[in-house]
């Protein structure tokens, strides 16, 4: 057994990830109960959970805001973030994953891998966050561990390393067989403690078979385990544990456990697995940042210069809370820190250990901690806080681009200024919300990731600020792209008004960035600029100005004034004037030249599309398919699962407004659906209304 005496080795910073309704919050509540942090089990349906403390979360029965809690298990400090499962709040997950060292992915034992399960898994892949899996709800009718594990293998593609075997099924599920130590762990109905005993006689042969399969799979993936397996044709438990830890942290395998959080079965072994397999701050690479264009690393060392990343900001009645992940150094109450991005020095008023909406004051925070601080005025999600004498800028979490907008206005004119202030505060707390003014109508537009996202934001304004708000019809964020470009477009910018003049001559080629226009066109295809000018006819500083001007022109396309994406612009030639050429002149020329080129090109309107997964009774499939077709949906698959039909289709986002109500009415309340963004696709021009 590896022993590390560094206190940071006993810290685990992890998140709970899953599709909506897979049981994340219930798992979190049972963890808090099992660790003695709470003394009663909170229930989502009763509105008594610790982490879903916001009134909207309790009313809607879903997690909306990432909530941090801290607990202790087996001598380890576990800092845990319960993340939202709904796709509209994926940005909350993104900001949380940026500061986590590990995660527990929760799956429904009946549904297996669901659309948002797949999305959050890919998010964790991008951040390199090691995971273990917990297959929840084994007490449900139709629950099957093997089917859920197979969906993990097929849709997520890691090697599932199943370390438990269920005892009983559905209502008769009472516990698990621990395949590492070959023991039975059971939880009697209503009991709060786990009972350990021998493997039931009826399961001994199956448990031995599965233990052998686990050893063979681990030996295939881990060189050290393979060496022992070849020598002894078996793996002892310490070797197996070490190999599982290594495979988890490299991402080559995912340890799979199972249980029923609602019935308090399987939580203690899950906590043991968190401690055994997920990394501590010492096990992850040193964080990297920049200063004066030089890359600098900061190890998780309390003695190193202080560096932390703000990942969440929350305005409360008692003050502004800034949530930090401390990567290096130590910070004490009252200390001065620098906001590296704003180049502003501020003072830490208080340091708090967070328990959702409750807090305990600390004197200091050290490398590896996740805490909240009071007193910072300029910090935003993504801000780097560092020691004033050792500046460093850490890479911030990426913010998703909004896809839906609504016009908002105060019902009473006297509340207009208050509404503007409330919206500004919302955007400050949630970078995926964007507030802007429509230049044509003068309306205030609130943009976000979906209907529910905007509903929650508007309701927050109503409840927290007491402002009556009128909301317009949702509108999606259209894009425009080049289907067929132009070559050799010439633009001369000449201006003479008595003083120094302006002169710039540019020749541009415009073409699609990618051949064809598919589902993902425009959803990150972006813009590419390059120069093919020879002989120094356009100096390099003016080339950069032309690029800046072209980027300015991308804000409004010729079809309907929507942002332009998915194109490549090449500067092929140009000319300068010895006196009148300047950065300003070439930037202006680049802007107007690209506008002319876009008007001369064949343009395509793009609209956001989503993958919709609809679960309905089998007798309602025909109705649902017809409705999806009427919404311009393209069905990609249909399967039958546990007596229900699951239909998958790609549908324009604009056609999904109000779909939840329509689906319920067409299926007598028995139909449900989930949706996740898949990019952009060509849209009929008539569908776009500015």
pLDDT of residue 438: 79
Alpha-helix runs per DSSP H in 237-321:
237-250, 267-277
Q: What's the rounded mean pLDDT across residues 616-627?
A: 87
pLDDT category of residue 53 using cuts at 50, 70 and 90:
low
From 378, 396, 394, select the one nearest 95 (Cα to Cα).
396
Main-chain phi, psi angles of 359, to 5 degrees? -140, 150
Give me the CATH code for the 479-600 domain, please: 3.30.230.10
103 vs 402 pLDDT, higher one: 103
Q: Which of 20-34, 138-152, 239-253 has the lowest mean pLDDT?
A: 20-34
Domain range list for the chain: 9-199+251-277, 287-394, 404-476, 479-600, 606-687
Does 240 have pLDDT greater than 60? yes
pLDDT of residue 586: 95
| CA torsion angle 211 214 218 219 (round to 10) | 60
Q: Which of 45-59, 246-260, 392-406, 466-480 has the lowest mean pLDDT?
A: 45-59
Whole-number CA gyration radius for the chain: 28
Q: Which of 73-77, 433-437, 457-461, 640-644 has the lowest mean pLDDT?
A: 640-644
pLDDT of residue 642: 64
- Give the span between the Cα atoms of 435 and 322, in whole angstroms: 21
pLDDT of residue 326: 94
Q: What's the rounded mean pLDDT across residues 447-473?
A: 88
Spatial neighbors of 515 by CB under 8 A, at least 6 apart, are none
pLDDT category of residue 523 using cuts at 50, 70 and 90:
very low
Instruction: Check if 404-476 and 606-687 are the same fold.
Output: yes
Q: Which two tokens stand for residue 478?
A: 């259209």
Q: Which of 351-365, 457-471, 550-564 has the lowest mean pLDDT?
A: 351-365
Neighbours of 579 (CB within 10 A): 9
Does 464 have pLDDT greater than 90? no
SS3 26: helix
pLDDT category of residue 524 using cuts at 50, 70 and 90:
very low
Q: What's the rounded mean pLDDT across residues 73-89?
A: 87
Q: What's the rounded mean pLDDT across residues 91-107?
A: 91
pLDDT category of residue 689 using cuts at 50, 70 and 90:
very low
pLDDT of residue 522: 37
Q: What's the rounded mean pLDDT across residues 481-502?
A: 87
Q: Which of 80-89, 318-327, 463-472 has the lowest mean pLDDT?
A: 80-89
Does 432 have pLDDT greater than 70? yes
Q: Which of 87-101, 176-190, 517-531, 666-680 has the lowest mean pLDDT?
A: 517-531
| CA torsion angle 26 28 33 39 (round to 10) | -80
Q: What's the rounded mean pLDDT across residues 344-349?
A: 91
Where do the DSSP E strands lie in 392-501?
A: 393-394, 404-410, 434-437, 444-448, 469-471, 475-476, 479-484, 486-495
- Give the span between the Cα atoms of 344 and 340, in whole angstroms: 7
- Give the span between the Cα atoms of 64 and 53, in whole angstroms: 10
- Give the span between the Cα atoms of 80 and 90, in whole angstroms: 17
Strands 469-471, 164-167: pairing kind: unpaired
pLDDT category of residue 486 using cuts at 50, 70 and 90:
very high
- Give the span between the Cα atoms of 72 and 57, in whole angstroms: 26
Does 520 have pLDDT greater than 50? no
- Give the span between the Cα atoms of 524 and 520, in whole angstroms: 8
- Give the span between the Cα atoms of 89 and 97, in whole angstroms: 13
pLDDT category of residue 57 using cuts at 50, 70 and 90:
confident
9-199+251-277 belongs to which CATH class? alpha beta
The domain defined by 404-476 carries CATH number 3.30.70.870 = yes
The 10s digit of each residue's pLDDT in 549-604 is 999 999 899 998 889 999 999 999 999 998 889 999 999 999 999 999 999 999 99
pLDDT of residue 63: 73
The 10s digit of each residue's pLDDT in 178-228 is 999 999 999 987 667 889 999 999 999 999 999 999 999 999 999 999 999
- Give the span between the Cα atoms of 553 and 538, in whole angstroms: 20
pLDDT of residue 47: 59
Average pLDDT over the chain, rounded to an integer? 87
pLDDT of residue 183: 95
pLDDT of residue 5: 63
From 23, 27, 174, 186, select the one nearest 110 (Cα to Cα).
23
SS3 87: helix
Q: Which of 191-205, 336-350, 424-438, 511-525 has the lowest mean pLDDT?
A: 511-525
Does 488 have pLDDT greater than 70? yes
pLDDT category of residue 55 using cuts at 50, 70 and 90:
confident
- Give the span between the Cα atoms of 380 and 407, in whole angstroms: 25
pLDDT category of residue 272 using cuts at 50, 70 and 90:
very high
pLDDT of residue 65: 76
pLDDT category of residue 525 using cuts at 50, 70 and 90:
low
Q: What share of the chain in percent tops pLDDT 90?
A: 48
Looking at the domain 606-687, which fold is it? Alpha-Beta Plaits (3.30.70)
Does 463 have pLDDT greater than 50? yes
pLDDT of residue 20: 80
pLDDT of residue 1: 43
Looking at the domain 287-394, which fold is it? Elongation Factor Tu (Ef-tu); domain 3 (2.40.30)
Residue found by looking up tokens 């044509």 in the block:
440
Strands 502-512, 567-575: pairing kind: antiparallel
pLDDT category of residue 518 using cuts at 50, 70 and 90:
very low
Q: Which of 1-10, 169-178, 263-272 has the lowest mean pLDDT?
A: 1-10
Spatial neighbors of 395 by CB under 8 A, at least 6 apart, are 288, 289
Q: What share of the chain in percent tops pLDDT 70?
A: 93
From 460, 466, 458, 463, select the one nearest 412 (Cα to Cα).
466
From 561, 585, 560, select the one nearest 575 (Cα to Cα).
585
Where do the DSSP E strands lie in 356-458?
A: 358-362, 364-366, 370-374, 384-386, 393-394, 404-410, 434-437, 444-448
Q: Which two tokens stand for residue 416?
A: 């207009």
pLDDT category of residue 85 using cuts at 50, 70 and 90:
confident
pTM (2 decimals)? Answer: 0.79
- Whether 101 and 284 have beta carbons less than 8 Å apart is answered as yes
Q: Which two tokens stand for residue 247?
A: 């495979």
pLDDT category of residue 315 using cuts at 50, 70 and 90:
confident
Does 656 have pLDDT greater than 90? no
pLDDT of residue 190: 63
pLDDT of residue 516: 43
The separation between the first and the last C-alpha atoms of the chain, rounded to the nearest angstrom, is 64
- CB-count exposure of residue 327 (10 Å: 0-12, 13-18, 19+): buried
- Whether 71 and 35 have beta carbons less than 8 Å apart is answered as yes
Residue found by looking up tokens 């202030």 in the block:
421
pLDDT category of residue 413 using cuts at 50, 70 and 90:
confident
* DSSP-assigned letters across all residues of 529-579: EEE---TTSS-HHHHHHHHHHHHHHTTS-TTTS--B-SEEEEEEEEE--TT
pLDDT of residue 685: 65
Does 271 have pLDDT greater than 60? yes
- Whether 405 and 446 have beta carbons less than 8 Å apart is answered as yes
């Amino acid at each position: 057994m590896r022993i590390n005496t560094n206190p940071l080795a006993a810290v685990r910073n992890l998140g709970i990830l899953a599709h909506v309704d897979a049981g994340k919050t219930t798992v979190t509540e049972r963890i808090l109960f099992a660790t003695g942090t709470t003394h009663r089990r909170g229930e989502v349906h009763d509105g008594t959970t610790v982490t879903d403390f916001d009134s909207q979360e309790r009313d809607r029965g879903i997690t909306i805001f990432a909530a941090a809690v801290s607990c202790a298990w087996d001598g380890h400090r576990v800092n845990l973030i319960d993340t939202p499962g709904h796709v509209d709040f994926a940005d909350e997950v993104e900001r949380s994953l940026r500061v986590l060292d590990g995660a527990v992915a929760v799956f429904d034992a009946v549904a297996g891998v669901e659309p948002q399960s797949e999305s959050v898994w890919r998010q964790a892949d991008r951040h390199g966050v090691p995971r273990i899996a917990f297959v929840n709800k084994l007490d449900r009718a139709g629950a099957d561990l093997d089917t859920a594990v197979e969906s993990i293998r097929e849709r997520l593609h890691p090697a599932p390393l199943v370390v438990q075997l269920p005892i009983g099924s559905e209502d008769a599920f009472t516990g698990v067989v621990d395949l590492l130590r070959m023991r039975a762990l059971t939880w009697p109905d209503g009991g709060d403690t786990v009972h350990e005993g021998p493997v039931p006689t009826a399961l001994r042969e199956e448990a031995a078979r599965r233990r052998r399969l686990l050893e063979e799979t681990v030996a295939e993936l881990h060189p050290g385990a393979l060496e022992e397996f070849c020598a002894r044709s078996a793996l002892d438990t310490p070797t197996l544990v070490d190999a599982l830890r290594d495979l988890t942290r490299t991402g080559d395998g995912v340890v799979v456990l199972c249980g029923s959080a609602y019935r308090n079965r399987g939580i203690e072994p899950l906590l043991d697995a968190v401690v055994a397999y997920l990394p501590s701050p010492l096990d992850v690479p040193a964080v990297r940042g920049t200063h004066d264009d030089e890359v600098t690393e900061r190890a998780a060392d309390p003695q190193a210069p202080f560096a932390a990343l703000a990942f969440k900001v929350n305005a409360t009645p008692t003050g502004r809370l800034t949530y930090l992940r401390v990567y290096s150094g130590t910070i004490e109450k009252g200390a001065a820190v620098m906001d590296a991005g704003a180049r502003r020095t501020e003072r830490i008023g208080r340091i708090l250990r967070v328990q959702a909406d409750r807090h305990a004051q600390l004197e200091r925070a050290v490398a590896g901690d996740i805490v909240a601080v009071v007193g910072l005025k300029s910090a935003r999600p993504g801000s780097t806080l560092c020691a004033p004498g050792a500046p460093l800028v850490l890479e911030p979490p990426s913010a998703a681009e909004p896809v839906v907008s609504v016009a908002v206005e105060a019902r009473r004119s006297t509340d207009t200024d208050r509404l503007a202030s409330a919206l500004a505060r919302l955007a400050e707390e949630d970078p995926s919300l964007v507030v802007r003014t429509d230049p044509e109508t003068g309306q205030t537009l609130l943009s976000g990731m979906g209907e529910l996202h905007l509903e929650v934001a508007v309701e927050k304004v109503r409840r927290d600020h007491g402002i009556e708000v009128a909301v317009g019809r949702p509108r999606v964020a259209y894009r425009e792209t080049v289907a067929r470009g132009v070559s050799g477009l010439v633009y001369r910018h000449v201006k003479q008004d008595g003083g120094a003049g302006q002169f710039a001559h540019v020749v541009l080629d415009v073409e699609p960035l990618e051949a064809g226009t598919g589902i993902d066109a425009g959803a990150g295809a972006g813009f590419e600029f390059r120069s093919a000018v020879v002989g120094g006819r356009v100096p390099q500083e003016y080339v950069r100005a032309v690029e800046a001007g072209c980027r300015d022109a991308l804000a409004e396309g010729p079809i309907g004034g929507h942002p332009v994406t998915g194109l490549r612009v090449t500067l092929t030639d140009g000319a300068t004037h010895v006196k009148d050429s300047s950065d300003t002149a070439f930037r202006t020329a680049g802007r107007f030249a690209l506008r002319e080129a876009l008007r001369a090109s064949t343009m395509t309107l793009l609209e956001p599309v989503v993958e919709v997964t609809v679960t309905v009774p089998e007798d309602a499939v025909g109705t649902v398919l017809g409705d999806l077709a009427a919404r311009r949906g393209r069905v990609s698959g249909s399967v039958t699962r546990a007596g229900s039909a699951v239909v998958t289709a790609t549908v324009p986002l604009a056609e999904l407004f109000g779909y939840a109500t329509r689906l319920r009415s067409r299926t007598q309340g028995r139909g449900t659906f989930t949706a996740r963004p898949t990019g952009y696709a060509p849209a009929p021009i008539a569908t776009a209304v500015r």
